[in-house]
Structure 1
Amino acid sequence: MKKIVLLVIALWNTLVFSQSEQLADNYFKQGDFEKALIIYQQLDEEKPGSTKYLYKIVETYQQLEQYDKAGQMLSERISRSSFPTLLIEMGYNYQLQDSMALANNYYNQAIQKIEERPIYVSSIARQFEEHSLLDKAIIVYKRGIELNPDQNYNIQLARIYGEQGDVEQMFSNYIDYIEDKPEFLNNAKRAFSDFVSENKENENNVYLKKLLLKKIQSQPDVYWYELLSWLYVQEKDYSKSFTQEKALYKRNPESLDRIMELAMVATSEKDYETATEILEFILQNSQDISSILKAHQLLLDIKTANASPKEYNSIDAQYQAVFKEYGTFEQTVPLQIAYGNFLAFYKHEPEAASKFLKQSLKLELSDFQEATVKLKLADILVYQEKFNEALIFYSQIQANLKNSTISQEARFKVAKTSYYKGDFEWAESQLKILKASTSQLIANDALDLKLLISDNKYEDSLHVALKLYAKADLMAFQNKNDEAIGLLDKILTEHKGESIEDQALFKQAQLFEKKKQYEKAANNYQLIIANYRDDILADDAYYYLAELYSNHLAQPEKAKELYEKIIFNHEDSIYFVDARKKFRMLRGDAIN
């Protein structure tokens, strides 16, 4: 019983002690230093051997500009123990009084302590860092390496050099650290990403590249190839990244996963030439059926995206050849869905697409596979404007895979189908639920569609313009882009000045971009900026117009001006971070 009582008392004292420290810290943060000082002094009396509260008291005295009292406390403690961090604190107390000669004297005494006991290196260096005395921390870490070459302080040095903006030394120390600890590679990539950019002429990119190429020549370890490949990806030079990945694969031909990942990145960035080269390499070298089928699918996607209608029969024959070689079984389901999509949305043969995918449903599919097939079947029914049948499939997915991402996607498609039908009230009720979707992409799409409906349904009780817009949106979904553009022209002519005008201009611009009619797209974005600069689509128009100037119209200075508009006038825009990054790159900043 006595032991239990003592334990309870000890726990209570610990709790009270902790609460007192938290209270003092709160006073300190709020600038109420006198109150903080009283509590810190009480805590120090209860734990007289600890330096923790000593430093708190010293810092509080310094905030109160009572440097003599801080110095007295430190001097008394140093007389009992000349621990190096106490010397640094005494030096810093003199520095705050602009007595640099005395400050440096104490700093040098602290540094000298590592000659006697190298174990002090970390604590001394950290204390210098605490007071932003980074040059002195560098001296300590470097001396620590000299005294004990087995001790690795490169990561600490790299971090300090990064803070100082000495990017070359930062890169060099990270590289040295990776050499000793290759498992740090992914952390290094995250650190490097703040200092490199898409611009291959950026001096940081150039220096890192030279450093890595030098390492590859002298010490061709796999992690140097991997890091160089990563750098080329940051520069969007997927061809050079592929060269490094091939070199890695030849050294370790066990997996093509990294190369497949690069193919997918190149495809998403529309570098179709490099993506095709990578995928053909995978087909030539892979024995894994999943990789082979994925490569075929991506190659056919690329061919479809770049084909004219007269080439569709050839693509159809290539799909058939793949199915003939590998069969239509569970493992080819993604390819089957891609083929169904091709038949419906490119060849405009929805009946054939539906018939083909219904055969897919007869296979032994997992619940998720069945849902993906049904999702595409429902999309094809929407294409055919068989809305009620489509809603049945979407609802089945929601019921069978509750709370999954694909279920949320199906709910969004239910809302969009209702919107296509002109049932705006029901669509809006579904979209309100989806605003809290765990998928950020679905949540954003739901919010955009809800705003479109709510902003335009009250202006006209018959919803004439909104129904026309929904019809144009459906045509765009059906890949009938010319018809959609024509219908949007009708809105812009017959409903000029109505709230839906900026939406119609933006939608039409997106379709012009899809058809590679970049000047027409730019004109629409300019109209939005000129007439709707204070409305919700202003930042979208600035960003997409900047992208056109940068990537297609060869006018980087105009792009830079537009990115700058987002930075200064649209700080809450989803494009803000990307716009700032691209603005700095176009301005030629060394650091990203």
Structure 2
Amino acid sequence: MKWILVLFTLLSFSTSLNAQDKDKQFEMADSLSDAKEYHKALVIFEKLCEEEPNNPTYLSHAGITYFRLERFDKAKEKFRLAVLYSQDNETHLSNLAAAYSNINENQKAYEYALKAMKVKPTSLTVYNAMANANNIYKYDETFRIYKQYPELTTENKFNLVLGLAHYHTLNFEKSASYFDAFLTNQDESDLLMKQEENTNSYLFNSYVGQLIRQIVYKQGDKEASMARLTALRNESYSDTQSQRYEVRILVLLMITQLLESPEFDYGKELLLARPSAQMKLSVADLSSKLNEVNDKLKSTLNESLNKKDPNGEDFRVFLASGGNLDLFLKKLISGNIL
């Protein structure tokens, strides 16, 4: 009896399926995938792909299942074949872009995202093209696409992708505005909710960069920037984030000191404005912490300005000239300081 069951099983997988059977098998696999029974779904999808190796629908669904299992190389191969055997299908192109992005082949991800957008411009394909442009540092492309499709870029997710593009091109006033809008307009259904804490950090750094420019160029509303930084620090999402902000505030103190700026008192006000119950560093710790930050900051400033001045006396002159301020700010936002 056991031999007959095994034989039956072998026969069932070696016999070609008719069209009606394929439809039933496809619906079953799709239901299994929706129920997160991915391995069971894959057995059926792979069988269907064997039956019709040129069927882009079967290939695409197999790729999606591999993608959900985070087997991105296998997903890429299925999506690549789906693209090969379909006529300019924006969904298959977008899926292939996503697979390439998840294996850090960002140039290819951008190329396929751009093809998907050109085949059928939608809010999703436009967003994917802009996000993938950001991933390969083509921020001008991000702005160009945004201007090209104003009617498709009104959803909240575009505030995030535009905020990142402005942030990395050091336009901190605009990045702060977009990050603020993204956080304000999120709701529980937003698929990007998990980005909230990271976006808050980008927003904080945007105001840090904005404030440094205001200090260096002696212009702008420093009080407003300080007030926003204080609020963001006090509204931290976690103790870890709060502690990071505390260190960044200390960095601001040291920057203003090294710049020999009269705005140094603003930095002290920012630090002292924190409610005592939320203080993460005691007053006794501040001196030693400032010394630690001072050493790191001086080293990074010297490197970014190509100066060998251990006392920092020339920092204010070089920063105020504007010639090297962007180099310093790029160091700052890349994490080398903050």
Q: TM-score, normalised by structure 2?
A: 0.51
> 2-side partners of 1:262 and 1:486: how far apart?
38
Cα deviation code 1:388-415 (max 9, x no counterpart): 645435x44973xxxxxxxxxx84xx48
Task: Describe how 1:173-572 pairs up with structure 2 within 5 A.
Answer: 177=58, 186-191=64-69, 193=71, 195=73, 208=78, 210-217=80-87, 221-233=89-101, 234=103, 235-237=105-107, 238-247=109-118, 249-250=120-121, 252-253=122-123, 256-264=126-134, 266=135, 271-273=136-138, 275-287=139-151, 288=154, 290=156, 294=160, 296-304=162-170, 319=173, 331=181, 340-345=207-212, 349=216, 352=219, 354-358=222-226, 360=228, 368=235, 380-384=252-256, 389-393=269-273, 395-396=274-275, 399=278, 411=280, 414=281, 421-422=287-288, 470-475=293-298, 479=301, 481-482=303-304, 486=308
Q: Structure 1 CA distance, aligned partners of 2:79 and 2:92?
A: 10
Counterpart Cα distance in 2 of 1:243 and 1:225 = 9
* Distance verdict in 2 for CA 1:190–1:291, change over 3 Å: closer
Task: State the alpha-carbon separation in 1 of the partners of residues 230 and 41 from structure 2.
Answer: 62
SS at match of 1:422: helix
The CA distance in 2 between the partners of 1:423 and 1:351, in whole Å, is 28
- For residue 18 of structure 1, what is the aligned residue in structure 2? none
Cα separation, 2, equivalents of 1:178 and 1:190: 14
Q: Deviations over 1:372-429 (max 9, x none)?
A: 9x97767533533567645435x44973xxxxxxxxxx84xx48x98773159xxxxx
Change (3 A) 1:397 1:289: farther
Look up the SS of the partner of 1:150 in the other structure: helix
- The offset of 1:189, in angstroms, is 1.4
Contact preservation (8 Å) 2:113, 2:132: yes
Q: CA deviation at 1:172?
A: 5.4
Counterpart amino acid of residue 302 in structure 1: H
Q: Residue deviations 1:87-125, cap 9 Å, x none? A: 0xxxxxxxxxxxxxxxxxx2xx32454xxxxxxxxxx4x
SS in 2 for 1:212: helix
Q: For the residues of structure 1 that align with 2:127 and 2:82, how far apart are their CA atoms?
A: 23
The whole-number CA distance in structure 2 between the counterparts of 1:329 and 1:157 is 40
Structure 1 residue 240: deviation in Å?
0.5
Contact 1:228–1:241 (Cα < 8 Å) also in 2: yes
1:246, distance to aligned residue in structure 2 (A): 1.1
8 Å CA contact 2:100–2:106 kept in 1: the answer is yes
1:276 is displaced (CA, Å) by 2.7
> For the structure 1 residues 260 and 240, does the alpha-carbon distance in structure 2 shift closer, same or farther, using more than 3 Å as the test?
closer
Runs of 5+ unmatched residues, structure 1: 1-81, 88-105, 114-123, 125-135, 163-167, 197-203, 305-314, 400-409, 425-466, 489-510, 516-592
- Indicate the SS of the match to 1:300: helix
Distance 1:236 1:327 in 2: 27
- 1:23-63 Cα offsets, whole Å, 9 max, x none, are xxxxxxxxxxxxxxxxxxxxxxxxxxxxxxxxxxxxxxxxx
The Cα shift of 1:272 comes to 1.6
How much has 1:329 moved relative to structure 2? Answer: 12
Structure 1 residue 342: deviation in Å? Answer: 2.8
Q: How far apart in 2 are the matches of 1:172 and 1:226?
A: 21
Residue among 9, 14, 17 paired with 1:145 = 17
User: Which of these two proteins has the greater Rg computed from alpha carbons?
Assistant: 1
What TM-score does the superposition give when structure 1 sets the normalisation length?
0.33
* Residues in 2 aligned to 1:228 and 1:263: alpha-carbon distance in whole angstroms: 15
When residues 195 and 281 of structure 1 are mapped into structure 2, their CA distance, relative to the original with a 3 A threshold, is closer
Residues 422 and 171 of structure 1, relative CA distance in 2, 3 Å threshold: farther
1:229/1:242 contact within 8 Å kept: yes
User: What is residue 308 of structure 1 aligned with on the other side?
Assistant: none
How many percent of aligned residue pairs carry the same amino acid?
A: 9
Q: CA deviation at 1:224?
A: 1.2
SS of residue in 1 equivalent to 2:25:
coil
Asked if the contact 1:420/1:474 (under 8 Å) is kept, the reply is no
CA shift for structure 1 position 236? 1.7
Instruction: Name the residue aligned to 1:551.
Output: none
Which is bigger in relative contact order (C-alpha 8 A, separation at least 6)?
Answer: 2
1:362 is displaced (CA, Å) by 11
Question: What is the distance in 2 between the residues matched to 1:357 and 1:476?
Answer: 26
Match of 2:168, as an amino acid?
I
Q: Distance in 2 between matches of 1:301 and 1:171?
A: 47
Q: Is the 8 A contact 2:93 2:115 kept in 1?
A: yes
Give the Cα–Cα distance (whole angstroms) in 1 for the partners of residues 22 and 51 of structure 2: 19
Aligned partners of 1:178 and 1:185 also within 8 Å: yes
Q: How does 1:63-78 map to 2 (within 5 A)?
A: none
CA distance in 2: counterparts of 1:188 and 1:329, whole angstroms: 33
Whether the 8 Å CA contact 1:263–1:278 is kept in 2: the answer is yes
Segments ≥4 residues shifted beyond 6 Å: 168-171, 326-330, 332-336, 369-372, 374-378, 417-420
Which letter does structure 2 place at the counterpart of 1:195?
Answer: D
Mark the runs of 5 or more structure 2 residues left unpaired by the alignment: 30-38, 185-199, 258-263, 311-327, 333-338
Aligned length: 263
Following TM superposition, by how much is the alpha carbon of 1:302 offset from its aligned partner in structure 2, in angstroms? Answer: 3.1
Contact 1:297–1:338 (CA<8 Å) still a contact in 2? no
Distance 1:245 1:377, change over 3 A: farther
Cα deviation 1:292-346 (Å, max 9, x = unaligned): 6555543433333xxxxxxxxxx69xx5xx69xx999964998985654334446
Cα distance in 2 for residues equivalent to 1:475 and 1:398: 32
Alpha-carbon separation, structure 2, partners of 1:514 and 1:361: 20
**Structure 1 residue 281: deviation in Å?**
0.7
Matches within 5 A, 1:95-114: 106=3, 109-113=4-8
Alignment partners' CA distance in 1, 2:91 and 2:205: 36
Give the equivalent residue in structure 1 for 2:192: none
Change in CA separation of 1:224 and 1:361 when aligned onto 2, cut-off 3 Å = closer
Distance in 2, matches of 1:420 and 1:174, equals: 65
Q: 1:159 to 1:360 in 2, by over 3 A?
A: same
